Amino acid sequence: GEDVEQSLFLSVREGDSSVINCTYTDSSSTYLYWYKQEPGAGLQLLTYIFSNMDMKQDQRLTVLLNKKDKHLSLRIADTQTGDSAIYFCAESGNDYKLSFGAGTTVTVRA
Amino acid sequence: EAGVAQSPRYKIIEKRQSVAFWCNPISGHATLYWYQQILGQGPKLLIQFQNNGVVDDSQLPKDRFSAERLKGVDSTLKIQPAKLEDSAVYLCASSFHRLAGNKAVEQFFGPGTRLTVL
């Protein structure tokens, strides 16, 4: 939705790091999420971060949150062909109702 | 553990016809969501159920859309009559009850029903 914005496309070489950026407008957001959608499949939660944190790392994934600028990023280390998908940034309050961005299509090239 | 099931996977209808979608959430999940995802956009919440009660239907076009979850498990979403702009993927998701704390954070999505209105 218009409350969450992200760039539409990202092309990355296999083995490089990918960085997907997102901005949101709701200062009362409690949780920030990254979901992955592969062709023909539903969305899958990759990771989320609580709004009082500024970083979360989970294997190849690193989430950075700048609450002052309302900026969220997802870094994927050592990007693989299986990482090709659409990545959605989302936010919610304590009610867990999600507001999604339009999605970033990540293409991994050999 | 079985995931969220949806049927049908695809549906093609003509405008002004009716259509219904079915969702079976993950066992034990009290909360069920229906989203509409138009091509090139992120999912938009249509309605949220907690057990068999509606929590939020503020984004549901109630003149043509209806949804129910009579026994607090399966849910159906109906469109009557359909318009061209209803062409989209309809996603169902489920999660633990919001009072379950961090367990309620993750929503589990089904594969969706792709609706084409001609």
pLDDT tens-digit profile of B28-37?
Answer: 999 999 999 9
Residue B98 has pLDDT above 90, yes or no: no
Can you tell me the mean pLDDT for B40-56?
Answer: 94
Query: Residue A2 — very low, low, confident or very high, per pLDDT cuts 50/70/90?
Result: low
Residue B41 has pLDDT above 60, yes or no: yes
Q: Is B42 on the interface with A (CB under 8 A)?
A: yes
Dihedral angle over CA of B55, A47, A104, B7, nearest 10: -50
Q: Is B38 on the interface with A (CB under 8 A)?
A: no
CB contact under 8 A, A42 and B106: no
Query: Over pLDDT 70: what percentage of chain A?
Result: 98
Query: Over pLDDT 70: what percentage of chain B?
Result: 99
Q: Is B56 on the interface with A (CB under 8 A)?
A: yes
Pick from B42, B98, B112: CB nearest A42:
B112
- Report long-range pairs for A84-87 (Cβ below 8 Å, ≥24 apart): A84/A108, A85/A36, A85/A37, A85/A38, A85/A39, A86/A36, A86/A37, A86/A38, A87/A6, A87/A20, A87/A34, A87/A35, A87/A36, A87/A37, A87/A46
Name the minimum distance, in Å, from the CA of A68 to any CA of chain B.
23
pLDDT of residue B1: 62
Q: Which residues pair with B89 in a beta bridge?
A: B37, B114
| C-alpha to C-alpha distance for B104 and B106, rounded to whole angstroms | 6
- Measured over the CA atoms of residue A106, residue A40, residue A42 and residue B112, the dihedral's sign is positive
Q: Please tell me which residue of chain A has the smallest CA distance to B6.
A: A42
